[in-house]
Amino acid sequence: MTSITTPLHALRDAGVAVWLDDLSRQRIASGGLSDLVARGVVGITTNPTIFASAVSQGDAYDAQLRTLAADGAAVEEAVLRITTDDVRDACDVLRPVYDATDGLDGRVSIEVDPRLARDTAATIASAETLWSEIERPNLFIKIPATVEGLPAITAALAQGISVNVTLIFSLQRYRAVLEAFLDGIEQAHAAGLDLAPITSVASFFVSRVDAAIDPRLDALGTEEAAALRGTAAIANARLAWGVYQDVVTGERWQALAAAGARPQRPLWASTGVKDPAYPDTRYVDELVVAGTVNTMPEKTLDAVADHGNVRGDTVSGTQDASAALLDRIEALGISVDDVTEHLETEGLQKFEVSWTELLGTVEAGLARAADAAEASR
Assess contact for 293 and 43: CB atoms under 8 A. yes
Q: Which residues are catalytic?
A: 142
Q: How far apart are CA 322 and CA 169, in angstroms?
A: 15
For 80-93, give the DSSP string.
HHHHHHHHHHHHHH
* One-letter identity of residue 277: A
If phi > 0 it is left, if psi is from -120 to 50 it is alpha, else beta; for residue 181 that is: alpha
Helix, strand, or coil (residue 229) = coil
Assess contact for 206 and 287: CB atoms under 8 A. yes
Cα torsion for 26, 29, 30, 36, to the nearest 10°? 90
Of 264, 323, 22, 289, residue with least CA distance to 145:
264
Q: How far apart are CA 223 and CA 221, in angstroms?
A: 7
Helix, strand, or coil (residue 185) = helix
Q: How far apart are CA 288 and CA 310, in angstroms?
A: 8
Assess contact for 247 and 178: CB atoms under 8 A. yes
For 277-302, give the DSSP string.
TS-TTHHHHTT--TTEEEEE-HHHHH
